[in-house]
Amino acid sequence: MRRLLLPLALLAAPALADPTTPPSALADTQLRDPAQEAQARALMTTLRCLVCQGQSIADSDASMAGDMRALVRSRIAAGERPAAIRTWLVERYGDYVSYDPPLGPATWPLWLAPVALLVVGALIARSSFRRRR
């Protein structure tokens, strides 16, 4: 009996991981002012979901992304500028929350890795072509 309960508990764990609290009021409800909703949408597409990590908070179904959408909408409805909201979120969650991290000591590898990979690829291709001659 115990051998059966452990696999069942492990299978049920993902379903039980999502909180049972209802989503925030503005998580999936648009703002009444279309201009404010457009500002909120534009900002939400540039912010990374910290749970999903590959989706923006606008596209994610995670409860944390819903909370972040509600936060963005409520602050924009209160008259706060999107840049100020972005700055506050980056201060709170770090540069990782942004799809466009600033250039700095911690993000040098993010910015230099594509260039380094292109250089390495070009060197490999060059040496491969030289061997064929």
**Residue 104: C-alpha distances to residues 16, 30, 46, 49, 95 (Å):** 39, 35, 19, 22, 10
Contact of 40 with 29, CB cutoff 8 Å: no
Report the C-alpha gap between 129 and 123 in whole angstroms: 10
| Confidence check: pLDDT of 18 > 60 | no
If asked whether residues 57 and 21 sit together in one domain, one would say: yes
Structure tokens at 49: 């979901």
If asked whether residues 79 and 129 sit together in one domain, one would say: no
> Can you give the CATH number for the domain in which 95 is found?
1.10.8.640
What pLDDT, in 10s, does the model give residues 76-115?
A: 999 999 999 999 999 998 888 888 777 778 778 877 889 9
Please report the pLDDT score of residue 21 as a whole number. 62
Q: State how many domains the chain has.
A: 2
Report the C-alpha gap between 23 and 27 in whole angstroms: 6
Q: What is the domain range of residue 131?
A: 103-133
CA dihedral 82, 83, 88, 92 (to 10 degrees): 100
Average pLDDT value over all residues in the chain = 83
Identify the three-state secondary structure at position 98.
strand
User: Average pLDDT, stretch 50-77?
Assistant: 89
If asked whether residues 29 and 69 sit together in one domain, one would say: yes
If asked whether residues 37 and 87 sit together in one domain, one would say: yes
If asked whether residues 63 and 97 sit together in one domain, one would say: yes
Contact of 36 with 76, CB cutoff 8 Å: yes
If asked whether residues 58 and 120 sit together in one domain, one would say: no
**Residue 61: C-alpha distances to residues 4, 44, 71, 101 (Å):** 31, 13, 15, 23
If asked whether residues 45 and 16 sit together in one domain, one would say: yes
If asked whether residues 97 and 61 sit together in one domain, one would say: yes
If asked whether residues 114 and 88 sit together in one domain, one would say: no
